[in-house]
Amino acid sequence: MIVRAWSARATPEGAVSYRRHFQNQVMPALKTISGQRGALLLSRVDDADTELVVLTFWESMDAVRTFAGTEATTAVVAPEAGRVLKDFDREVRMFEVVLDARA
């Protein structure tokens, strides 16, 4: 399994808007991709901003490329998402899961 990690910063209001976008747009789209194995949206208040981290889980690099295209490390950020974020990663980090201890 592959984990694709991406992060962003937002105002508290922007974080709420991004959560809505993620729930209503991103999650339904991800569910249509063969080999997509779920996602997490993490949030942490840091001073006046909110840090957001998205982890998506993939069966293979082929599944990742179905979502991200041939440049799999390029972030996929819809324009409406970019408008509510103060800053975001242009590149993602990918990790191979070598041990999964989730119950």
- The whole-number mean pLDDT for each consecutive block of 10 residues of the chain, a chain of 103 residues, reads 97 96 96 96 94 97 95 94 96 96 83
State the total domains in the chain: 1
Q: Does residue 41 fall inside a structural domain? A: yes
In a domain, 78, yes or no: yes
Residue 28 domain flag:
yes
pLDDT at residue number 102: 84
Which CATH number fits the domain that encloses residue 22?
3.30.70.100
Identify whether 103 is part of a domain: no
Q: 65-85 burial by CB neighbour count: b if 16+ within 10 A, else e?
A: ebbbeeebeebeeeeebeebb
pLDDT at 46: 86
Q: What is the pLDDT of residue 64?
A: 97
Range of the domain at 92: 2-96
Supply the pTM of this predicted model. Answer: 0.93
In a domain, 101, yes or no: no
The pLDDT value recorded for residue 17 is: 97
Residue 102 inside a domain? The answer is no
pLDDT given for residue 49 in this prediction: 95
